[in-house]
């Protein structure tokens, strides 16, 4: 179905359909490996640190954070935007690449979508617990005035965020689950006893009927069609949280495209980090090939260059605007007390990805792994620079304050790593990490004979 | 409601074979009940004359519902029930600031409305018994199934055509199944 003399095959190693089922179901059916147990335990420990730090914040209050009157948004919103951006690569792979008929996405879409969902879970914790009195978090919903508060304000980007993030999470979850159904059915048909019953419940009676496949493909196409503008809108709205304010350094119209490019950039960094480990540990080198890695590196290079262009444009516009506050904000970023954050960001995001022009860099797994980590660090610094350096010296020099995180904030951030990897380890143990049915549809297989009739145009 | 039905089915191990068999059967009077494949075999639905799904229309209507919900919600809360006073401007539908929520609710309702309809229409719901002829139909076997209670079914012709197009085996079975 997918053969071309000039394209490299998407599945290597001469696998048959049955081999694919065996390879991908093996981790689910076998006992967990030592590596899995160790990794899972470490993740759970970190998740516990996170839960403890979050509990401390909720019981005592936001005072346990390093935020102050001037720097009201700091680590929490930095981490929120960072995790949220990471999520975007999953939707890009599953939706946008589906619309562009990029068949290589089939090897990586399942785990990338899982990453999206887990990253959004981590991201969501930050704004929720930044509310302080988290038990009143439902006040962000449009509740009647008689309920105790006024109606929510639909003119505020913060409220748009509530709608955007919850929609993004729900739709990604649905898209992921519908994609999983045929593969859960495969696991069900191979399992016995209790496992068969549990997988049977989640496979909801899927039998691979042609009528259902036709519906399934249409549903996936429409979900991809609506997820594409959704993923762009979500980070656009996140950027508007900043762009609609009057803070120098935030108040720019370049933010939406700049944030979306940055989100995809960091997301692919995280996808590569996860998949390079997974393909090695779970022996998926035949499915997540060097070709896949190379394609993702090219996207990193493209989006990294877009982000670099945005940095330079921001600087130019700050000068060109003639607004002295704006000019100072940018000069202060590069040479002020947080110069190290700014230059870390520049090095990691603008200079580092340029090495992907070299084919060696794109096709050497250990090097790609290293660079993906650099990209993730760089994108964290980008959000830190935008948030903290823009806020810490505002209009009134008398209220200038510096910011440094407390142990509780560091605990929450490490905790989200724990939560993320705990979920990811559970996913890799209990669900097929690669989309079995989609990989089978794009794998190279020997043409037995010519089709007797060509498919007539519908 | 559900009773035992008799089925005739052929097992293939190559998507081209089942596709050829489906085309060969098109010129006969035998109607294929359904095919069960481990992945979407493109062209099989056309060979079987399966009508295009109307889930797209459902998606559109659901999206429209979401959009209208968002417009009415925002109009009611911020214009009608408690007019938002921003710099003394007249309370009116503030179109630009209402766009994002309209978009998000449209997408949310489209996705879930279509998703739930898909589950109902495809009769895949928790509790529905799955039609599994061979456990390897979700692995590497392609099943073509016929309803033996249909008087028009010519068993010998069907068996012959499936075998000729590469069926490994042709079997008969009596089972409860939620097919079609």
pLDDT in tens, A396-430: 899 999 999 999 999 999 999 999 999 999 999 99
How high is the pLDDT of residue A455?
A: 44
Nearest to A231 by CA among B104, B95, B67: B104
How close, in Å, is residue B41 to chain A by CA atoms? 7
Cα–Cα distance measured from residue B125 to residue B123, given in angstroms and rounded to the nearest whole number: 6
On chain B, the residues whose CB falls within 8 A of the CB of A181 are 124
Q: What is the structure's pLDDT at B127?
A: 55
pLDDT at A178: 93
In this complex, do A21 and B39 lie within 8 Å of one another by their Cβ atoms?
A: no
- Mapping DSSP to helix (H, G, I), strand (E, B) and coil, where does residue A433 land? coil
- Residues in B closer than 8 angstroms to A453, CB to CB, are 23
- Residue to test with chain A: of B20, B118, B141, most A Cβ within 10 A: B118
pLDDT score at A413: 96
A151 touches chain B (CB under 8 A): yes
| A76 conformational bin, left if phi > 0, alpha if psi -120 to 50, beta if neither | alpha
**Nearest alpha-carbon partner for A254 in A305, A304, A311:** A311
B/e letters for A82-121, b = 16+ CB within 10 Å, e = fewer, are bbbbbbbbbbbbbbbbbeeeebbbbbbbbbbbbbbbbbbb
- Determine contact: B168 vs chain A, CB below 8 A: no
The reply to whether residue A204 touches residue B124, judged by beta carbons under 8 angstroms, is yes
Q: CA–CA separation, A207 vs A194, rounded Å?
A: 19
DSSP 8-state assignment for residue A352? G
Closest chain B C-alpha to A283 CA, distance in angstroms: 20
Looking at the complex, report in whole angstroms how far the Cα of residue A226 sits from the nearest Cα belonging to chain B.
6
pLDDT at A457: 39
**Residue A171 to chain B, least CA–CA distance (Å):** 6
pLDDT band at A175 (very low <50, low <70, confident <90, very high): very high
Hey, which residues 56-85 in chain B have their CB within 8 Å of chain A? 56, 59, 63, 73-74, 77-78, 81-82, 84
Cβ neighbours for A121, distance < 8 A, ≥ 6 positions apart: A169, A419, A420, A423
In this prediction, residue B175 carries a pLDDT of 81
Residue A369 tokens, joined: 């792994």
Distant-in-sequence, close-in-space partners of A453: CB < 8 Å, separation ≥ 6: B23
* A 174-213: CB under 8 A from B: 174-175, 178, 181-182, 185-186, 188-190, 200-201, 203-213
What pLDDT, on a 0 to 100 scale, did the predictor assign at position A458? 39
Q: What is the pLDDT of residue A4?
A: 54
Kindly indicate the confidence band of residue B128, based on its pLDDT and cuts at 50, 70 and 90.
low
Mean pLDDT of A142-162: 84
What is the pLDDT of chain A when averaged over all its residues? 90
Are the beta carbons of B26 and B157 closer than 8 angstroms? no
- Within 8 A by CB and 6+ apart from A338, the residues are A384, A385, A388, A389, A392
Span A35-68, pLDDT tens digits: 999 999 999 999 999 999 999 999 999 999 999 9
Written in H, E and C, the secondary structure of chain B is CCCEEEEEEEEECCHHHHHHHHHHHHCCCCCCCEEECCCCCCCHHHHCCCCCCCHHHHHHHHHHHHHHHHHHHHHHHHHHHCCCCCCCCCCCCCHHHHHHHHHHHHHHHHHHHHHHHHHHHCCCCCCCCCCCCCHHHHCCCEEEEEECCCCCCCHHHHHHHHHHCCCCEEEEEEEECCCC
By CB atoms closer than 10 A (0-12, 13-18, 19+), residue A272 is: buried
Instruction: Give the separation between CA A119 and CA A420, rounded to whole angstroms.
Output: 6
Per residue in A95-104, pLDDT tens?
888 888 888 8
Q: What is the distance in angstroms between the Cα of A197 and the nearest Cα belonging to chain B? A: 11
Distance from CA of A147 to the nearest CA of B (A): 13
Half-sphere exposure of A351 (CA within 13 A, CB side): 7
Pairs of CB atoms within 8 A across A/B: 218
Band (B1; pLDDT cuts 50, 70, 90): very low
Cβ <8 Å between A226 and B81: no
The verdict on a CB contact (< 8 Å) between B46 and A458 is yes
Nearest-by-Cβ selection for A164 from B84, B104, B139: B104
- The sheet carrying B169-176 orders its strands as B34-36, B142-147, B4-12, B169-176
* Cα B13 → chain centroid: 24
Q: Does B138 touch chain A (CB under 8 A)?
A: yes
Chain A residues with CB inside 8 Å of B73's CB? Answer: 142
Choose the closest CB to A163 out of B35, B36, B101: B101
Beta-strand pair B4-12/B142-147: antiparallel
Please check the confidence at residue A1 and state whether its pLDDT lies above 50. Answer: no
pLDDT per position as a tens digit, B61-101 = 999 999 999 999 998 888 888 887 788 877 776 788 899 99
At A209 the three-state DSSP class reads: strand
What is the Cα–Cα distance from A266 to A251, expressed in whole angstroms?
23
Q: How confident is the model at residue A148 (pLDDT cuts 50, 70, 90)?
A: low
Out of A18, A222, A456, the one facing B140 most closely (by C-beta) is A18
Query: What pLDDT is attached to residue A341?
Result: 95
Q: What would the pLDDT profile of B15-37 be if each residue is shown by its tens digit?
A: 889 999 999 888 888 888 889 99
Residues of A in contact with B100 (CB under 8 A): 157, 160, 163-164, 233, 237
- Give pLDDT tens digits for A242-257: 999 999 989 999 999 9
Alpha-carbon distance B69 to nearest alpha carbon in chain A (angstroms): 13
Alpha carbon distance B170, B164 (integer Å): 11
Backbone φ, ψ for residue A209 (5° rounding): -65, 145
Looking at beta carbons, which residues of chain B come within 8 Å of A222? Answer: 55-56, 59, 110, 114
The single-letter DSSP state of residue A348 is: I
Read off the tokens for B58. Answer: 């459902």
- Condensed to tens digits (0 to 9), the pLDDT of residues A280-298 reads 888 888 889 898 999 999 9
- Tell me if chain B has a CB within 8 Å of the CB of A141: no
Verify whether the Cβ–Cβ distance A163 to B104 is below 8 Å.
yes
CA-wise closest residue to A87 among A269, A247, A279 = A269
Q: For residue B137, list chain A residues with Cβ-Cβ distance below 8 A.
A: 189, 207-208
Q: What is the structure's pLDDT at A456?
A: 43
Tell me whether A441 touches chain B (CB under 8 Å): yes
Name which of A161-170, A189-198, A437-446 the model is least confident about. A437-446
């Amino acid at each position: 179905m997918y053969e071309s003399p000039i394209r490299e095959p998407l599945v290597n190693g001469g696998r048959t359909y049955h081999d694919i089922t065996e390879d991908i179901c093996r981790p689910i059916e076998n006992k967990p490996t030592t590596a899995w147990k160790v990794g899972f335990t470490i993740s759970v420990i970190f998740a516990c640190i996170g839960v403890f730090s979050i509990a401390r914040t909720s019981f005592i209050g936001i005072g346990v954070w390093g935020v102050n009157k001037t720097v009201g948004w700091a680590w929490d919103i930095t981490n929120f935007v960072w995790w949220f951006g990471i999520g975007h690569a999953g939707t890009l792979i599953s939706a946008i690449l589906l619309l562009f008929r990029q068949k290589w996405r089939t090897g990586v879409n399942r785990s990338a979508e899982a990453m999206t969902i887990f990253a959004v879970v981590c991201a969501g914790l930050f704004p929720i617990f930044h509310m302080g009195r988290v038990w009143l978090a439902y006040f962000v919903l449009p509740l009647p005035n008689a309920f105790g508060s006024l109606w929510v304000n639909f003119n505020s980007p913060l409220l748009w965020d509530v709608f955007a993030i919850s929609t993004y999470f729900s739709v990604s979850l649905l898209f992921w689950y519908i994609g999983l159904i045929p593969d859960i059915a495969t696991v069900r048909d191979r399992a016995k006893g209790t496992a068969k019953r549990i997988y049977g419940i989640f496979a909801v009676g899927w039998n691979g009927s042609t009528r259902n496949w036709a519906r399934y493909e249409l549903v996936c196409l429409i979900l991809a069609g609506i997820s594409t503008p959704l993923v762009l809108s979500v980070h656009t709205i996140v950027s508007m949280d900043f762009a609609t304010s009057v803070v120098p350094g935030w108040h720019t119209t370049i933010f939406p495209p700049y944030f979306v490019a940055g989100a995809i950039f960091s997301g692919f960094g995280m996808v590569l980090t996860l998949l390079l480990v997974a393909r090695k540990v779970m022996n998926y080198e035949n499915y997540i090939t060097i070709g896949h890695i190379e394609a993702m590196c090219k996207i990193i290079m493209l989006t990294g260059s877009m982000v670099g262009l945005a940095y330079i444009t921001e600087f130019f516009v700050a000068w060109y605007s003639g607004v002295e506050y704006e000019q100072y904000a940018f000069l202060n970023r590069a040479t002020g007390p947080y110069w190290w954050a700014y230059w870390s960001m520049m090095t990691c995001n603008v200079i580092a990805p340029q090495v992907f022009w070299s084919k060696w860099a794109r096709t050497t797994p250990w090097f790609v792994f290293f660079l993906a980590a650099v990209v993730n660090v760089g994108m964290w610094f980008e959000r830190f620079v935008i948030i903290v350096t823009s806020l810490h010296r505002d209009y009134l020099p008398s209220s200038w304050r510096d910011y440094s995180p407390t142990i509780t904030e560091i605990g929450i951030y490490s905790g989200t790593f724990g939560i993320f990897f705990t979920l990811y380890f559970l996913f890799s143990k209990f669900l097929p990490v690669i989309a079995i049915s989609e990989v089978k549809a794009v794998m190279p297989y020997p043409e037995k004979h010519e089709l007797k009739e060509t498919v007539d145009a519908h | 409601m559900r009773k035992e039905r008799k089925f005739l089915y052929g097992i293939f191990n190559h998507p081209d074979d089942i596709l050829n068999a489906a085309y060969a059967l098109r010129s006969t009077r035998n109607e294929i009940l359904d095919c069960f494949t481990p992945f979407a075999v493109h062209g099989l639905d056309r060979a079987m004359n399966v009508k295009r799904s109307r889930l797209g229309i459902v998606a559109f209507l659901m999206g429209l519902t979401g959009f209208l919900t968002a417009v009415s919600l925002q109009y009611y809360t911020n214009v009608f029930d408690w007019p938002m006073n921003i710099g003394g401007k007249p309370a009116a539908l503030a179109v630009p600031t209402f766009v994002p929520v309209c978009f998000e609710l449209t997408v949310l309702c489209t996705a879930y409305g279509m998703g739930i309809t898909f589950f109902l229409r495809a009769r895949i719901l928790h509790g529905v018994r799955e039609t599994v002829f061979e456990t390897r139909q979700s692995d590497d076997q392609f099943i073509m199934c016929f309803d033996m209670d249909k008087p028009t079914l010519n068993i010998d012709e069907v068996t012959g055509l499936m075998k000729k197009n590469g069926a490994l085996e042709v079997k008969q079975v009596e089972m409860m199944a939620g097919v079609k």
